[in-house]
Amino acid sequence: MTDTLVRAVTTDGNFRAIAIDATEMMAEVAKFHEASQLGTTVLGRALLGSLMVSNAILKGDERLAVVINGDGPAGKIVVEASAQGEVRGYVTNPTVELPLTAKGMQDVAGAVGSNGFLQVTKEIGEGDPFTGQVELMTGEIGDDLTYYMAKSEQIPSAVAVSVLVDPDGTVAAAGGFMISALPDASDEDITALEDKFANLPSISSQLVEGHTPMDLLFNLFGKDDVKLLATTEVALYPEISKRDYERMLATLPMKDLQEMLAEDHGVEIVDRFTGKKIQFDEAELSGIIAAKDAEGL
C-alpha cells in the first residue's frame, strides 16, 4: 500500500485534521541509517511530524527545515519536508540506545533531551526564509511540535506521532495525526476532544490492524463527523546523484581540491540523509580539477 497523508475537516467546522501512514517509507529509512530501534523511532517521529506540519502551514512548492537539538545522546535531528509530501532527515547518532522506560517504551525523550530548542525554517517563495524557534517541552517530538504550532504559528493543535519498531529493526507501523482547532471551536469542544484522546487506542496498534489514515480520524471523531478534503502520497526526496555531488565538489576552492588529491588521492562523501558513501577516486577528482582549471575557476 502506498504511504499516504490525508487532510480532512470535521463536519461541525470545529477542527482541521491531518493523518498519515508512512510505514513503508520508514522501513526504507531504517535500512538506510542502520539505526537502532530507538534511533529509528526518534527519526521517524521527526519525519512524520514534520510532514504533517508542512502540510498544515505550507502550500505549493514551499518547504521547511526542522532542527531539533535537545542535547541528548541522539544528537541533533534534521528534517526537510515539503507541502508536496516529500521528506528526508537524519539523526546525528542513529545507533543511540537507552534502557526502556518504566512503561516498557523506547525512551525518545531521554534520547532527544529537553535542554534545547526546536527550530523551523520556512522557504516560502523568493523572499528571505522565515525561522521560528521554541524551547523543547519534553523531547517527545510530538509534544514539541504541538508547542511550536501554538507558539509560533498561533494555531492550537495536537500532534501525535508513533513509530513501532520490532526488536530485529523492522518497522511494524509508522503514522500519526495532527488536529488543529478552527475559530468556531469552543473550550467545551476542545475539552471533549481531549477526553477522546485519552481513550483512543494507540496509533501503532490501529495501523498494525490495517486501519488507514482516514480510519484514524474516524476512530477519533466518528465516521459521519469528518470529511476528507485531499489525499497526498508521501515519500522520501529523491537521492542526490553522484553527478550532483560532482557539481558540488567543483564549487570548492581549487586549493582544497588539490589538497584532497595530494593527501587522500580521492574523496569519500557520506550522504547524511541516506548513510550512503559516494567515492571519487584519483582519476575522477583529477578530472574535476582539470575541468575547473580549464574554465579558469
Count how many domains the chain has: 2
Helices (H), 163-267: 187-199, 203-208, 213-221, 242-250, 254-264
Exposure string for 37-61, b = 16+ CB within 10 A, e = fewer: bbbbbbbbbbbbbbbbbbbbbbeee
**What is the domain range of residue 218?**
4-236
Calpha distance 64→46 (Å, rounded): 13
Task: Tell me: do 247 and 176 sit in the same domain.
Answer: no
SS3 258: helix
Task: Tell me: do 280 and 226 sit in the same domain.
Answer: no
CATH assignment of the domain containing 104: 3.55.30.10
| Average pLDDT value for the chain | 92
Task: Tell me: do 287 and 232 sit in the same domain.
Answer: no
Q: Give the domain-ending residue among 220, 236, 252.
A: 236
Q: Please report the pLDDT score of residue 99 as a whole number.
A: 96
Segment 275-280 shows an average pLDDT of 88
- Which residue matches cell numbers 478534503? 229
pLDDT tens-digit readout, 118-161: 999 998 777 778 899 999 999 999 999 999 999 999 999 999 99
Which residues on neighbouring strands pair with residue 19, listed in sequence order? 6, 177
CATH assignment of the domain containing 279: 3.90.1280.10
Q: Please, are residues 180 and 156 in contact by the beta-carbon 8 Å criterion?
A: yes
Q: What backbone phi and psi angles, to 5 degrees, belong to 144?
A: -70, -35
Q: Give the domain-ending residue among 203, 218, 236.
A: 236
CA atoms within 13 A on the CB side of 46: 32
Least confident of 91-95, 226-230, 253-257: 253-257
- pTM for the complete prediction? 0.91
Q: Please, are residues 288 and 250 in contact by the beta-carbon 8 Å criterion?
A: yes
Task: Tell me: do 80 and 127 sit in the same domain.
Answer: yes
Task: Tell me: do 123 and 218 sit in the same domain.
Answer: yes
pLDDT tens-digit readout, 169-206: 899 999 999 999 999 999 899 898 888 888 889 999 99
- In this model, does residue 57 exceed pLDDT 70? yes
Task: Tell me: do 83 and 208 sit in the same domain.
Answer: yes
Q: How confident is the model at residue 102 (pLDDT cuts 50, 70, 90)?
A: very high
Exposure string for 73-82, b = 16+ CB within 10 A, e = fewer: bbbbbbbbbb
Q: Give the domain-ending residue among 213, 236, 259.
A: 236
**Which of 39, 48, 47, 100 lies closest to 72, judged by CA?**
39
pLDDT tens-digit readout, 196-254: 888 889 999 999 999 999 999 999 999 999 999 999 999 999 988 889 888 888 888 89
Q: Please report the pLDDT score of residue 48 as a whole number.
A: 98
